[in-house]
Structure 1
Amino acid sequence: MSEQSRFKDKLYQSLISEYFLLFWSKKDMKKLTVLLALTLCTLFTYCQEIISYPDFGIPVKNGMPFYELIDSINVKGKNKDQIYDACRKAFADIFTNSKSVIELENKQDGGITGKGITSISYKIGAMGISDQADINFSINFQSKDSKYRIQLYDINGGPYKNMSGIFKLTKKYRTSFFTALNSKMEAFLTVFSSTINENMEKTSSDF
Structure 2
Amino acid sequence: MQPSVLILGIGNVLWADEGFGVRCVERLAARWSFGPGVTVLDGGTQGLYLLPFMEAADRLIVFDAVDYGLVPGTMKIVEDEAVPAFMGAKKMSLHQTGFQDVIATAQLMGYCPDHLLLIGCQPEELEDYGGGLRAVVAAQIDPAIEVALARLRDWGVEMRPGMSDATYLADPSIRQDAYETGRPSADVACRVGDARFFPGEG
Which TM-score band applies after superposition, normalised by the shorter structure? under 0.3
Structure with greater proportional strand content: 1
- Normalising by structure 2, report the TM-score: 0.24
- Normalising by structure 1, report the TM-score: 0.23
Structure with greater proportional helix content: 1
Greater radius of gyration (CA)? 1
Higher relative contact order (CA 8 A, sep 6+): 2
